[in-house]
Amino acid sequence: MVVATFGLLLLRLWHLQVIEGEEFRRLCESNRIRLVKVAPLRGRIFDRKGRILADNRPSFDLFVIPEDVKDKESFAEGLAPLLGMPPEEILGKISQRGRSPFQPVRIKGDLTWEELSRIKIRQMELPGLKVSVVPVRTYLYRGLAAHLLGTVGEITREELSRRRAKGYDIGDYLGKTGLEAAWEDYLRGLKGGRQVEVDALGRELRVLREVEPIPGWDLHLTLDLDLQRKAEELLKGKAGAIVALDPSSGAVLAMASAPSYDPAAFARGIPLEMWKKLNEDPLHPLTNRAIRGLYAPGSVFKIVVAAAALAEGRVDPDERLHCGGLFPLGQKVFRCWKEEGHGWMDLKQAIIQSCDIYFYQLGLRVGPELMASYAEAFGFGRCTGIELPGEKAGFVPSPAWKAKRGERWYDGETVVMAIGQGPFLVTPLQMARMIAAVANGGVLYQPLVATEVIDPEGKGVRSYRPRPMGRLPLSPRVLRRLKEALLGVVEDEKGTGRAAHIPGVSVAGKTGTAQVAKMGQRRLKPSELPYELRDHAWFVAYAPAEAPTIAVAVVVEHGGHGGSAAAPLARELIKEWLSIEGEADET
């Protein structure tokens, strides 16, 4: 149905621009009849409760018909002071190659009342000028969900060469990043046109024929506005990301990346200085860390190592292994994060207290090949399939990878991998999907960002349903043991995730610390290290543990320990979600 509908719309557009366009061009030889294209309203974007996130607003834009300008240099000199623009910038716009001489060139958008008044007074002296009201993308909550929603911008020549067959022209706007780009074909709408008669100065005398533009189709998301706002508040002043999923479907409830930016700045063409500032910012505000940020998983990966050990029979869950704080291996000595050691402990307590030396021993039993295999089964090392451009796959190291490089794998790399360090790289979205799969009993879902697309008449033209992408290779018994340990991480007095505790709510989770500094530098206290060498803090969680409705992954760059920097953020986000759900139950 969608393909057929688009086919009819494209046929209509082609007829207007090509078949009838030939007639218009013949009439234009007299310089009296012209085709004026009319931009459509872009489709709106809504959150899961029907609240508008992205809409359109009117803008007064100034256009010039190059054919009506006899002396371009004098024209640019005369127009420049009216707009506060350099004459050479105006001249560059009206002298573009590859454009029809009768095709309007946008000189400036969002004219002020003062600029409009000055143009009106001087219009007779500057033939070819035309002020039009055009729709412009606007975001009702400014920078909220900026990385997810994405940006709209003017089409480049490279993009035009690929998209001209779809009806795009120089000066058109299209989705550049995020959902705006991913759903461009639905959101863009179809241009209309007016056949007008003009006088010798290019001023419209009358409309001969008119075809109304067709608005773009509306997009409804899984995102919850209130939860998204809370996630961004929690990241204020930090660099990092928060992803919240519905474990039962993979629906994205919140996706925050910090620092952020205001996408409205891109809607009319971002000033060069602002673009340069954003692009050169060392904190990379334009990067969606949720899908493009790559970090070592740290001790969160102990979930996967424990799962592999249990599933493959490499450990008895009641077997106790000793941690004395130091673990000699060959010529090296590996340390536990707890200098004095944890003493004797079983698997459950090793997860609860995140004992490194227990997992060094477990990693050697499981081996790097199995750890890599289970990492991939848990969704690492490959894209999740979320319908957003630019997602990164991350990287899972293995002996096979090193062999391809002509290098040998060492036992030291195995123990480092067992605690989620080394060249191992994951995204926050992958971490959220992993913990969601544990929460829901083992199903890995493709993350879902949209629920449906609605046409201008209010009819649903496409709907999106949960899509399972695989299952964790774990028995119910293994999953049960993992869940018991993860609950203890938050609820046990010795749990490293105690800061995520919510009275009256069962929260299960796992802390992680992704090392940034080299081992020699790590002898310094975290506070003594430069900011860029401090560890990244992780926390993944789900709640309520007995019947999860939310799964969360939090990463705070250079935040230090996951238990102190990331777990409190997850706690506050879960509390917000439970409050939102409680309000929904009351209505």
Band the pLDDT of 99: cuts 50, 70, 90.
low
Predicted local confidence at residue 419, as pLDDT: 98
The confidence score (pLDDT) of residue 3 equals 45
Residue 77: count other Cβ atoms within 10 Å of its Cβ: 14
Mean pLDDT for 171-199 is 93
**Cα radius of gyration rounded to whole Å, the chain:** 29
DSSP annotation of 302: H
Q: Which residues are catalytic?
A: 299
- Residue 572 clears pLDDT 80, i.e. is over it: yes
Give the distance from CA 248 to its chain's centroid: 21
Comparing CA positions, the residue from 127, 90, 135, 81 lying closest to residue 108 is 90
Q: What is the pLDDT of residue 141?
A: 95
Report, as an integer, the average pLDDT of 326-334: 96
CA 418 remoteness from chain centre:
29
Give the pLDDT confidence of 132-152 residue by residue, as tens digits. Answer: 899 999 999 999 999 999 999
> Which residues are CB-neighbours of 173 under 8 A, at least 6 positions away?
39, 137, 152, 153, 154, 155, 267
How large is the average pLDDT for residues 87-103?
A: 80
Please tell me what DSSP assigns to residue 428. H
Please state the rounded mean pLDDT for residues 14-30.
Answer: 52
Average pLDDT over residues 426-433: 99
Residue 20 has pLDDT above 70, yes or no: no
- Taking 70 as the threshold, does the pLDDT of residue 586 lie above it? no
Answer whether residue 389 shows pLDDT above 80. Answer: yes
Alpha carbons 378 and 251: distance in angstroms, whole number: 18
Q: 417-450: b or e for each residue (b if 16 or more CB lie within 10 Å)?
A: bbbbbbebbbbbbbbbbbbbbbbbbbbbbbbbbb
Residue 171: pLDDT over 90: no
Q: List, for residues 40-63, the tens digit of each pLDDT value.
A: 999 999 999 999 999 999 999 999
Predicted pLDDT of residue 478 = 98
Phi-psi region of 409 (alpha: psi -120 to 50; beta: other; left: phi over 0): beta
Residue 35's alpha-carbon distances to 20, 128, 132, 254, 375, in angstroms, are: 10, 15, 14, 45, 59
Percent of the chain with pLDDT over 70: 91
pLDDT at 15: 55
Q: Quick one: tokens of 285? A: 């505000």
- Is residue 25 predicted with pLDDT exceeding 80? no
User: By percentage, how much of the chain surpasses pLDDT 90?
Assistant: 75
Whether 21 shows a pLDDT value over 70: the answer reads: no
Mean pLDDT computed over 244-271: 93
Mean pLDDT of 548-559: 98
**What does the pLDDT read at residue 22?**
57
**Domains recognised in the chain with CATH numbers:** 2-221 (3.90.1310.10), 225-262+292-453+465-586 (3.40.710.10)
| Distance, CA of 494 to CA of 127 (rounded, Å) | 79
pLDDT at residue 4 is higher than 50: no
Highest mean pLDDT among 119-123, 273-277, 435-439: 435-439
pLDDT of residue 93: 87
Token pair belonging to 405 = 């490089």
* Mean pLDDT lowest among 85-99, 409-423, 441-455: 85-99
269-298 mean pLDDT? 93
- How confident is residue 2, by pLDDT bands cut at 50, 70 and 90? very low
Paired tokens of 31? 């310089």
Distance CA 186, CA 220 (A): 12
Report long-range pairs for 515-523 (Cβ below 8 Å, ≥24 apart).
515/296, 515/298, 515/421, 516/558
Q: What does the block give as tokens for 25?
A: 């061009």
Mean pLDDT, range 544-564, rounded to an integer: 97
70: confidence class by pLDDT, cuts 50, 70, 90: confident
pLDDT at residue 24 tops 80? no
**Distance separating alpha carbons of residues 256 and 147, to the nearest angstrom:** 8
pTM of the model: 0.90
| Tokens encoding 422 | 């080394």
Position 502 pLDDT exceeds 50: yes
Residue 271 has a pLDDT of: 79
> Is the pLDDT higher at 14 or at 227?
227
Pairwise pLDDT comparison (204 vs 400), residue with the higher score: 400
Distance (Å, rounded) from C-alpha 570 to C-alpha 540? 8
DSSP 446: P
Nearest to residue 83, comparing CAs of 44, 109, 45, 103?
109
Spatial distance between the Cα atoms of 250 and 327, rounded to a whole number of angstroms: 40
| Mean pLDDT, the chain, whole residue set | 91
The residue assigned the tokens 């106790």 is 320
pLDDT of residue 530: 80
Burial of 303 (0-12, 13-18, 19+ CB in 10 A): buried
Of 33-47, 92-106, 309-323, 358-372, the least confident: 92-106
Q: Name, in order, each residue with C-beta under 8 angstroms of 330's C-beta and a sequence gap of 6 or more.
A: 410, 411, 412
For 432-476, how does the pLDDT look when each residue is reduced to its tens digit (9 = 90+)? 999 999 999 999 999 999 999 999 999 999 999 999 999 999 999
Q: Flag whether pLDDT at 269 surpasses 90.
A: no
Lowest mean pLDDT among 7-21, 361-375, 482-496, 567-581: 7-21
Q: Residue 301: is its pLDDT beyond 80?
A: yes
pLDDT (0 to 100) of residue 33: 84
State the chain's maximal CA–CA distance in angstroms: 94
